[in-house]
Structure 1
Amino acid sequence: MDPERGGRTERRGVPPAPFGIRLGSGAALVVAATCLAAALFPPSAPLARLLVVAVAVGGFAAVAPDPRADVAVTLLGFLCFTGFLLDRYGELHWHTGRSGGYLLLLAAATVLGAALGTIRRVLTGRRARFVARSSG
Structure 2
Amino acid sequence: MDESWRSKALSIIEKQIQELPALYGATVTYEIRRGYPALINHVALTNEITTSLIEFHGKESVHEAEIWMAAEDFAYYTTTYPAVFYLVGIANQQKGIGSELHTPTFQIDEDAFDLAIGGMMYTALRLLDD
Both proteins in one fold, TM over 0.5 = no
> More helix per residue: 1 or 2?
1
TM-score norm. by structure 2 comes to 0.29
